[in-house]
């Protein structure tokens, strides 16, 4: 299982395998990639008590959102691009260990970013605000690329309110507007 990219987590007494949804879809696609196995599963899924086999078929047909699609790298740290409803952008990274969070915070500050640290549930969130993003033209360009992808995905899902928030963020960062004309920022 580790060869498929699954993580091994030591829980103290026993080792457990954590399966992320994208890994489960990948595993189902590999299993059902063999036509004989796929035909067998599809035939058995017709039985009245074969709910798990039907779910396996559904899992194989799922579309998985690529991981790290809304992330940018800042001073060697992978951070998630977060857009608030009012159109502001923040870069965020989450860590469970306070010592690791402080180390990353110091790394970002040494690179010239005024990053902050705040508790988030049981984790710690490191963030870089919109003004810091605007100061760095190279970082702004990376964030704009992510925002364009986010906007395309949001529009394809029909989430109009979210799409407007992303457009406002793009306008504030002076990104090229993906929807020219009257459909621009409101």
User: 46-59 pLDDT, tens per residue?
Assistant: 888 888 777 777 77
pLDDT at 119 over 70: yes
DSSP state letter for 136: -
The residues spanned by each domain of the chain are: 2-60, 71-172
Q: Number of C-alpha atoms within 13 angstroms, CB side, residue 66?
A: 8
pLDDT of residue 122: 83
> With bands split at pLDDT 50, 70 and 90, how would you rate the model's confidence at 127?
very high
pLDDT of residue 14: 44
pLDDT tens per residue, range 46-103: 888 888 777 777 777 666 555 556 888 888 888 889 998 888 899 998 888 898 889 9
More confident residue, 183 or 39: 39
Mean of the per-residue pLDDT values of the chain: 79
Residue 122, helix vs strand vs coil? coil
Determine what percent of the chain falls in helix, strand and coil, rounding each to the nearest 5. Answer: 45, 20, 35
Q: Decide which of 3.30.1380, 3.40.1350, 3.10.28, 1.10.3470 is the CATH code for 71-172.
A: 3.10.28
């Amino acid at each position: 299982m580790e060869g498929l990219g699954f993580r091994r987590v030591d829980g103290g007494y026993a080792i457990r395998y954590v399966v992320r949804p994208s890994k489960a879809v990948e595993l189902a696609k590999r299993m059902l990639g063999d036509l004989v196995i796929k035909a067998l599963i599809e035939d058995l899924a017709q039985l009245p008590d074969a709910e798990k086999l039907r779910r396996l078929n559904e899992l194989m047909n799922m579309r998985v959102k690529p991981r790290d699609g809304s992330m940018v790298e800042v001073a060697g740290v992978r951070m998630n691009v977060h857009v608030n409803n009012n159109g502001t952008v923040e870069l965020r990274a989450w860590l469970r260990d306070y010592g690791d969070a402080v180390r990353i915070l110091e790394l970002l500050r040494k690179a010239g970013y005024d990053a902050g640290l705040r508790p988030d549930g049981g984790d710690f969130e490191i963030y870089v605000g919109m003004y810091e993003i605007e100061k760095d033209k190279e970082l702004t360009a990376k964030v704009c690329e992510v925002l364009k992808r986010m906007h395309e995905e949001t529009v394809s899902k029909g989430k109009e309110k979210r799409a407007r928030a992303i457009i406002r963020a793009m306008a504030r960062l002076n990104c090229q507007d993906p929807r020219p004309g009257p459909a621009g920022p409101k």
